[in-house]
Amino acid sequence: MKRYLVIILLALSFSAQAQPNLNHYKYIIVPEKFSFLKQANQYNLNNLTKALFDDLGFTTYFDNADLPTEIAGDRCKALTADIEEKNSMFVTNLTVVLKDCKGTVVLKSKEGKSREKEYKTSFNLALRDAFASLTDFRYTAGSIPDASAPTPAAQVKEAKTEPTPAPATQPVATEAKQTDAVLYAQTTANGYQLVDATPKIVMTLFKTSVEDFFMAVNGNTNGVVLKKNGNWFFEYYKNNVLVSDKLPVKF
């Protein structure tokens, strides 16, 4: 039990740092030509991709455009968009992928589909279907923390008077919950993203060196997902109480 508590505390710290990799980006760079197409902006897919990311609140640029100084000098402040196509005789299948400056996949949409026979219509409908799963991945002005911003004096004074945290050896109560909705695990570069039937991304899992044990980010809640007695649980702290939510996950 002590071993798991130590891992949970480490996971909470790591997840707090990992979370900005998922939703703390303002800029997205869109290529003028996707690799599976023969021409730049064929079927208007590149323009549509840029417009759909604009609709989500991001500031987007084509990779052949003059980039602002902020990201021209540091491409790690921007994500790069890509579209993956899966060949099928009667169905157009497209997946939206976002990668960071190191080429790591940060987010992957569901597979958008269309059965339209006309190519341009089919590709456009499939892309819009894929974007439907990214509605929660929306940029909001002010969501990126400004590390250079000074801390108000009143907050500094208040921080000095905060009560001393309870010692780590203090017993912690456990609150058990059960999540009924089935979640489906989609593979990512660093682990999995769990989506519901909508499909909506509910949780992101990060691999660890321990088998069946993941660091997890669920919105603003950081914790761990682990397997116990054949079942999966999401465990996190809420008001100094260890909460354990049973997860019906299908990998």
pLDDT at residue number 165:
53
Predicted local distance difference test score (pLDDT) of residue 80: 94
Question: Token pair of 17, please?
Answer: 């740092």
Instruction: Give dist(CA 237, CA 242) in Å, integer.
Output: 5
Strands (DSSP E) found in 38-181: 59-62, 78-86, 92-99, 105-114, 174-178
Q: Which residues contact 100 (CB under 8 A, 6 or more apart)?
A: 21, 76, 79, 80, 106
pLDDT at 197: 76
φ, ψ of residue 126 in degrees (nearest 5): -65, -40
Residues 94-119: tens digit of each pLDDT:
999 999 888 998 889 999 999 998 98
pLDDT digits (tens, 9 = 90+) for 13-61: 444 343 334 456 889 999 999 999 999 999 999 999 999 999 888 899 9
How far apart CA 60 and CA 29 sit, in angstroms, is: 6
pLDDT digits 0-9 by tens, 58-78 = 899 999 888 888 888 888 889
Instruction: Give how far Cα 134 sits from Cα of 139, 173, 191, 202, 231, Å.
Output: 11, 36, 18, 11, 28
Q: What percent of the chain has pLDDT over 70?
A: 74
Please report how the helices 119-131 and 45-55 are oriented relative to each other, as an axis angle in degrees rounded to 10.
20
d(CA 20, CA 193): 15
* pLDDT for res 149: 40
**Could you read off the pLDDT of 167-215 as tens digits, one per residue?**
444 444 455 555 567 888 888 888 888 888 777 888 888 888 888 888 8
- Is this structure's pTM higher than 0.85? no
Q: Where are the domains of the chain?
A: 25-134, 172-251
**Percent of the chain as helix, strand, coil, to the nearest 5:** 25, 35, 40
Share of residues in the chain with pLDDT > 90 (%) = 26
